[in-house]
Amino acid sequence: MKKLFVVGFYLLLFCQISVAQKNIKPLISSYNFRNNSDFWESVGNGICNFEADVMYIYGKNYVTALMPDSANHKLPTLSEAYLYPLYNQFKKNNGEIIPGFQGEVLLILNFAFQPVQSYKQLAAEIRPFQEMLYTADRKGKLRILIKDKAALEIINSIKPGFLGLVGSLSDVEKNVDSEKMPVIELNFTELTGWKGTGNIPFEDFVRIKDLVAKIHAQKKKVILTNTPVYKTVSEFVKTSGIDFLVTNDPMRMTAFF
């Protein structure tokens, strides 16, 4: 009976992931995974891009924004929650994290304190997984990004690395090389006063759509953050051409796409 249960579980998981391949959601999950089961649930529901808070604690990178109050904490490492599962997918699918998906999977990391030490540890942890990593020399399937420009400048001044940068609204006019800054993140509340109910004001929609087109012309993708959790917002994302919506409530938002 136990064997049948295990077989049934993996068949269900396979079916979920197969569905995800056909119906990848334009979402970035900013929910910090507690274990690799959260990863599999996310991929099974078509969410294949991620944002995570990372903290360097006693020689390891843990997934957390806050220092644990005990040395006996149960926080997962970045490798356990994200890197190992991603690499498992990459190897299982013969070099594709998501079968049939031609783009890259995004992993945005927010380094909490000690960004240089966090990067050094990440560089060590990523070595076994390098073949899936997107770099200047290798167009892999996993692109790791950070938002902290100052931290990235310090990191690159020590040794140019594999991290890309998430740009902001102020970077649109700078037209930074898309290899260095492949995405621009826009804060919803800075673009419109619309609260997600009813229709977005037409002037706001046209202005945002034009902004998105301008960013796309720079060969960059657009991320929208800090949005209300409504179906109307998902419709706005689809019609405006925005590539990704960031959410810390990914399971709820999947129902709208």
Tokens read off for 81:
């929650």
pLDDT-derived band of residue 159, with 50, 70 and 90 as boundaries?
A: confident
Residues 145 and 43 in one domain: yes
3-state secondary structure of 25: coil
pLDDT-derived band of residue 7, with 50, 70 and 90 as boundaries?
A: very low
Residues 174 and 137 in one domain: no
Q: Is the pLDDT of residue 170 over 80?
A: yes
Looking at residue 22, what is its pLDDT?
A: 57
Residues 176 and 52 in one domain: no
Domain boundary among 143, 164, 185: 164
**Tens digit of each residue's pLDDT (9 = 90 or more) over 202-214:** 999 999 999 999 9
Residues 78 and 187 in one domain: no
Residues 110 and 142 in one domain: yes
Looking at residue 137, what is its pLDDT?
A: 87
Domain boundary among 149, 164, 179: 164
Phi, psi of 120 (to 5 degrees): -60, -40
Question: Is the pTM above the cut of 0.75?
Answer: yes
**Taking a C-beta distance cutoff of 8 angstroms, is the pair 153, 190 a contact?**
no
Residues 57 and 139 in one domain: yes
Residues 134 and 173 in one domain: no
What range does the domain containing 127 cover?
1-164
Residues 65 and 181 in one domain: no
The residue written with tokens 């390891």 in the block is 60
Helical ranges in the chain per DSSP H: 2-22, 36-44, 78, 84-92, 115-125, 149-158, 188-191, 202-217, 231-240, 250-254
User: Hey, CA dihedral for 92, 141, 103, 243, is it positive or negative?
Assistant: positive
Q: How far apart are CA 40 and CA 238, in angstroms?
A: 25
Residues 5 and 48 in one domain: yes
Task: Determine whether 2 is exposed, middle or buried from the number of CB atoms within 10 Å of its CB (0-12, 13-18, 19+).
Answer: exposed
Domain count, the chain: 2
Domain boundary among 164, 185, 210: 164
Q: Is the pLDDT of residue 113 over 90?
A: no
3-state helix, strand, coil in the chain (%, to 5): 45, 20, 35
Q: Strand 244-247 to strand 27-29: parallel, antiparallel, or no bridges (unpaired)?
A: parallel
Looking at residue 10, what is its pLDDT?
A: 47
Residues 109 and 179 in one domain: no
